Structure 1
C-alpha cells in the first residue's frame, strides 16, 4: 500500500471519500471550471455546460453550496435573478481542476487507444466464448 493511504474505515477516510466524491464527479468539476471566470447565472451555466440537465445542475450547485465551495446570491429583481460564484475555498480547487484537465488533454490519445484495444479484446473474447468448440474427428 502507498504511504499515506489506508483502507481503514475511520472518520478521516470517510471524510476524504465524501470530499473526493463531491469534487471528483463529472458535473462538479465542470461547474467549478465554469465559475473560474467569476459569478454566473444559472441559465448561463446551463448553456455552457454541455449535456447537463436543469435538475442535475440544480443538484450539483446545491451540493457545492452545502460543501462551502459555491455561494448563491439572489437579487431582488422581477423576476428574481440568481448568481453563483466560487467561495475562497472553492477557488482553491481551480489549480487541481486545471491540472487534471491538462493531464486529460495530454493523454487523451493514449486513453482512446487503450480503450480501443481493450474493447477489441473484449469483443474477441465474447465471440470466442459464443462459438461452439469443434471436435475434429478423424476418419
Structure 2
C-alpha cells in the first residue's frame, strides 16, 4: 500500500512518503495537456464564451491561425472542445467547451490565483 504525498508533506522532504506512481502519472499527463502552449488559453476563451474562430483568435493574442486551428483540432480530439458545423451560407463552424473542458478550466483556476499572488516568481522565470 502506498501513501499520498500532500502539499503539507511537500513542505518537508518530498521523499518521506512513497509516491503513488499512478497518481503521479495522471498528474503529469494532466499538467502536460493543460500546459501545452496555447491550450489553456483556448480552453479559457471557450469557457468565457468564444464560439467562432475569429473570437478565439481575438481572445488568444499572439497565436497564429495555423496553430489555433491545430490546437482546436487537438482539443476536439481529446474531448475538451466540441465542434459544430452549422449548414448556413457560408457554413459556420462553432466551438464550445465540453463538460470535461469546463471542468479542466475550473480545476486550473487555483493556478491562476496562485499566479496573481506570485507574479514576482512568474516574472523571474525564463520564457518557454
TM-score range, shorter chain: 0.7 to 0.9
1:21 equivalent to 2:32? Answer yes
Q: How many residues align?
A: 110
* Matching residue of 1:64: 75
Q: Distance in 2 between matches of 1:29 and 1:115?
A: 18
* Partners of 1:28 and 1:60 within 8 A in 2: yes
The corresponding residue for 1:44 is 55
In the superposition, the TM-score normalised over structure 2's length comes to 0.72
**Structure exhibiting the larger radius of gyration computed from Cα positions:** 1
SS for the counterpart of 2:118 is helix
CA contact (8 A) 2:50 2:56 kept: no
Q: Which has a greater percent of helix?
A: 1
Displacement of 1:17: 4.0
User: 5+ residue gaps in structure 2?
Assistant: 1-14
